[in-house]
Amino acid sequence: MHDMTACQRGHTLNRQELAADERREKRQILGLSLPAAAIILVLLVIPVGWLFALSFVSNGEIGLANYTRMVEYSAYLSIFSTTILVSLFVTVLCIVLGYPVAYLLGQLPPRLATIGLAFVIVPFWTSILVRTYAWLVILQRQGIVNDALIGIGLIDEPLRLAHNLTGTIIGMTHVMLPFLVLPLYATVRNIDGDLMRAANNMGASPARAFRDVFLPLSMPGLIAGSLLVFILCLGFYVTPQILGGGRVIMVSMKIQQNVQTYFDWGAGSALGVVLLLIVFAIFYLVHRLAGLDRIFAR
Amino acid sequence: MHLPIKLTACAVLALTTAATAQEVTVASWGGSYQAAQSEAMFKPTAKELGITVKEATLSGLADIRLQVRSGAVEWDVVDLGATDCAIGAREGLFEKLDYSVIDAKGIDDKMVNDHWIGVIYYSTVPAWNTKTVKAGPQSWADFWNVKDFPGDRSLRNRPQVMLEMALLADGVAPKDLYPLDVDRAFAKIEELKPNIATWWESGAQSVQLAKDGEVDMIAAWDGRLAAAIADKAAIDFTYNEGLLNADCLAVPKGAPNKELAMKAIAKFVSPEQQAMLTQHISYGPVNVRAFETGLIPEEAQSKINTFPANLEKQIVVDAEWWGENGNRMRERWDSMIQR
Amino acid sequence: MACSITIRDVRKTYGQFVALDSVGLDIAPGEFLTLLGPSGSGKTTLLMILAGFIRPEAGSITVDGDEILRKPPHLRNIGMVFQNYALFPHMSVGENVGYPLKLRKVGAAERYERAREALKLVQLDHLMDRRINQLSGGQRQRVALARAIVFEPQILLMDEPLSALDKKLREQMQIELKHLHDRLGMTTVYVTHDQREALTMSDRVAVMNHGHILQVAPPRQIYERPCDRFVADFVGESNFLPVEMRGGAAVFGGIPLQLAEGQAAGAGGKALLVRPEKLDILSAAPAPEHNPIDGTVEELVYQGETMLIYVTLPGGETIALRRGTRQQALSEMPQVGEPIRLGLHRDDTVLIDEAAHA
């Protein structure tokens, strides 16, 4: 009887106080996210907006000069296509090399997997510049690889491994591999081993079970990793600059060059804007094809 | 009561004006180059003119453009690449130089312009690794001759000077170089492209490539090569058909101490200071009269790119032509490299 | 359709740990056999060996006379329900159930029909297009079951399939599974650590411990006539009372016990197994067929449908008995501290060898 009345009176008892508590809690949560929002505004929204505005200024005049230039010279088209093709190629290589690594790590017992993962992460501790120069030392005409191959008599003439597309792709793939392996591993680790056993049990050969079950379930990690690698590749500067021998011109290099050539930030900004639009377009495309929200929500 | 205060204020003002009138700010590229300039030029000039020479560093024409456009010019004299000077002059960023104050005698005509004047020369020369190449190319025609001079080459990843080299290799006489026959030059570069292992980007990289034998022949800068050779690198080069390019001096439009800047520039390009600079850094004086001053030791003279015997083998790059056409060439160059 | 399974001398060790120690078992066609045991007893290992996911070191398993140990799992044609169901989250309910058929190259239309039929068996044919994460635990369990039987395997394996369900649902599913088995008749091997589940569903129960099968028998026999102290202890609630052997007769508390038929006292250490629900409270009236046990009421525990009465015996042992909670029984309930005389009917008297697993 007592309980009943308490229930009924509960509609008004402490109602305003509790509502106030609720509001205060919400304000606190909002307050906590404020620094992050401010950082995003200061570090992302404002610079990108500024970049966009600058791209329409050339030699102090407002206009499309920075964009018409891209149509005028064939270099820009090939720079954008080189950038995209190199990025795609590196992404595919990362998938080919990184998937088995992530798969293996996912199958290992946790202790061994942690050790394996450390091997994947350790290169992160070395600067990209150092790693890229290391590749130069390894790949160049009088480098370790060529010396060794000539030494054992496999080749007579040194292979051209550096100062070109080959070197660029080798270097970039090495730098990018962890970015594919880590998100993929996180996904693969969480795939229940019983799912593969279940498929096996129902009559699927190991290869078939991989195709029908493991691969689709690893997709979120694979797509996240691939997008990460691809987009990082689009803006890559150091490795193609050092290992490309001037032959591989990526957008980022042209941005730097244009600022130098035209003494004008706008000349670089326009390229940045176009690159950004390409990234958006790719995101949209992947979203339409694969449904990003579905992949990441799962 | 009011009078003394006004007087004091006036006196202070007069003193300040006097002080600023006796000061000139020079902006250059920092590092060993500016240190050498400071020893050979800035300090002696301050002493001789009885003024203060303040130093600043810059990173290119963009700095001057910013100062002039915003009307806040801080520098009186700036040191830039000759092409940047040509571009800056076309944009109206510089004051006209007063050649009644500056004596340009002994300086190549191409380096004497209404708005700027050359200050040092560096030369782009054919060089080679002495371990892998027995007889190095003695001309650009040799450099292009892959049959008699087999091996990997490297050119700088810029059209500047490379187009001149190509035309010389194709048999154009030095006096007929300008205006450049651009189509012919690009065609000639395309011809060598398969033999170019690397298009170099930085001076340090160019020396590294030659030293490590990554390429057999390279078109690189004499100063850097000379320093590497002094360091016992297996490199040699020739001044034959070397292409002389200059750094230049200019006075930004609206410079606070314009007149004094003219006097300072006159000192910087004088034979004496030009000669002294060679003691501190391996760049060539623009003023050939530097060799007549007796300030450069006999044995050192022949190593300097503008030493008359060397100078006559070389060609001076026309900065004005590049100021006018540089950007267009750069875009076309990139398209050519990408193909 | 159903087939027999013969397991001989199957052995599996992990380093020093013996998971299965030369296990042998015969399973009849169409039988519902449950492997019952605590964790680490080897029951799941044996199931995984049957499915082909674990390779034993030695032994033989034949299905209708054919050796299967060297066949890869995907060629064994054995259905299996996993403990966590192992449903494919990227497929709909219908696709999950149709998957084994797809692997057997059944056409889309027939696949759909058969998947629907299988789902109908578990009353889920209306959810064919649902995604797995939209299902409740019980529904997932049923989908897993439908998927395991849709391709009509000769053998169905189930690895604690009900352990993730709440009690009510679990009991309901036990009955449903049993009915389904009765209807489909496939040889079924079921793994559980829940003795009640084992008793409810099985034709026979194999009780396992430390890699051995201790007893294989129908549920009633396992419960009523356990042949082993571990089996008696693990299955159901049990009190063990020390029994003295005097001249071929079993004596407890100074009184010779009346034994059930076939419960020869024999030699060696024995214990009297007393299940709480088998005990009566003796009134003043004589009960010639009961073995009397005197003690003092120590504690009463009310558990809803029954009440547990803990009684301390003169020898210091505590035994429990269980009484229903009808109001009349409650009103006659003894009070704590009162002396009480319990009676164990002659037919409910079970003697267990103490020596084997003391």
pLDDT digits (tens, 9 = 90+) for C18-53: 999 999 999 999 999 999 999 999 999 999 999 999
In this structure, what token pair is assigned to residue B73? 């010019």
Residue stretches of chain C with pLDDT short of 50: 356-358
Tens digits of residue pLDDT in B13-44: 444 444 445 899 999 988 888 999 999 999 99
Domains and CATH numbers, chain C: 5-231 (3.40.50.300), 237-353 (2.40.50.140)
Please state, in angstroms and rounded to a whole number, the distance separating the CA atoms of residues A191 and A207: 16
Neighbour order of strands in the sheet with C212-217: C78-81, C155-159, C187-192, C32-36, C204-209, C212-217
Tens digits of residue pLDDT in A73-84: 888 988 999 999
Phi, psi of C19 (to 5 degrees): -80, -40
Closest CB to B335 among A73, A241, A263: A73
pLDDT at A244 over 80: yes
Tens digits of residue pLDDT in C103-146: 999 999 999 999 999 999 888 989 999 999 999 988 999 999 99
pLDDT at B6: 45
Is residue C229 a contact partner of residue C352, using CB atoms and an 8 Å limit?
A: yes
Closest B-chain CA to A75 = B335
Q: Which of B188, B216, B144 is nearest to B336 (CA)?
A: B188
pLDDT at B117: 95
Please state, in angstroms and rounded to a whole number, the distance separating the CA atoms of residues C120 and C115: 8
pLDDT at B143: 96
Chain A residues with CB under 8 Å of C86 CB are 192, 194-195, 197-198
Under the banding of pLDDT at 50, 70 and 90, the label for residue B327 is: confident
pLDDT at A156: 87
Which CATH number does B2-121+245-314 carry?
3.40.190.10
Closest CB to A204 among C74, C78, C80: C74
pLDDT at C1: 57
Q: Which CATH architecture describes the domain B123-244+317-338? A: 3-Layer(aba) Sandwich (3.40)
Closest CB to A245 among B60, B87, B199: B199
In this structure, what token pair is assigned to residue A110? 């946790």
Residue C317, class by beta-carbon neighbours within 10 Å (0-12 exposed, 13-18 middle, 19+ buried)? middle
Phi, psi of C199 (to 5 degrees): -65, -35
* A to B CB pairs, distance under 8 Å: 65
Phi, psi of A32 (to 5 degrees): -65, -35
Residues with Cβ within 8 Å of residue A228, at least 6 apart in sequence: A179, A180, A183
Homologous superfamily assigned to A74-297: MetI-like (1.10.3720.10)
Within B1-80, where are the H helices? 2-21, 31-37, 43-49, 61-70
Tell me whether residues A75 and B197 touch, CB distance under 8 A. no
Please state, in angstroms and rounded to a whole number, the distance separating the CA atoms of residues C242 and C147: 50
Tens digits of residue pLDDT in A17-44: 899 999 999 999 888 889 888 998 888 8
Residue of A202, A223, A298 to mutate when probing chain C, most C C-beta within 10 A: A202
Residue of C76, C78, C99 to mutate when probing chain A, most A C-beta within 10 A: C99
- Touching pair A, C by Cβ (3+ pairs < 8 Å): yes
Is residue B21 a contact partner of residue B15, using CB atoms and an 8 Å limit?
A: no
Domain boundary assignment for chain B: 2-121+245-314, 123-244+317-338
Q: Which residues partner with A252 through β-bridges? A: none
Q: Which of C110, C186, C78, C93 is nearest to C146 (CA)?
A: C93
Is residue B151 a contact partner of residue B317, using CB atoms and an 8 Å limit?
A: no
Chain A residues with CB under 8 Å of C104 CB are 203
Calculate the alpha carbon distances from B296 to B174, B228, B273, B332 in Å: 29, 22, 11, 42
Segment A87-92 mean pLDDT = 96
pLDDT at A9: 54
Tens digits of residue pLDDT in B38-68: 999 999 999 999 999 999 998 888 889 888 9
Q: What is the mean pLDDT of chain A?
A: 87
pLDDT at A260 over 80: no
Task: Give me the DSSP letters along C263-298.
Answer: ----SS-EEEEE-GGGEEE--SS--TTEEEEEEEEE
pLDDT at A60: 73
Tell me whether residues A245 and B337 touch, CB distance under 8 A. no
| Chain A nearest CA to B62, separation (Å) | 5
A240: helix, coil or strand?
helix
Is residue A241 a contact partner of residue A253, using CB atoms and an 8 Å limit?
A: yes
A211 CB within 8 Å of a chain C CB:
no
Binding-face residues of A in 218-257 toward C, CB within 8 A: none
Tell me whether residues A79 and B197 touch, CB distance under 8 A. no
Q: Which of A113, A99, A120 is nearest to A219 (CA)?
A: A99
List Cβ<8 Å contacts ≥24 apart for B303-311. Answer: B303/B226, B304/B278, B305/B121, B305/B122, B305/B123, B305/B222, B305/B239, B305/B242, B305/B244, B306/B121, B306/B244, B310/B239, B310/B242, B311/B244, B311/B284
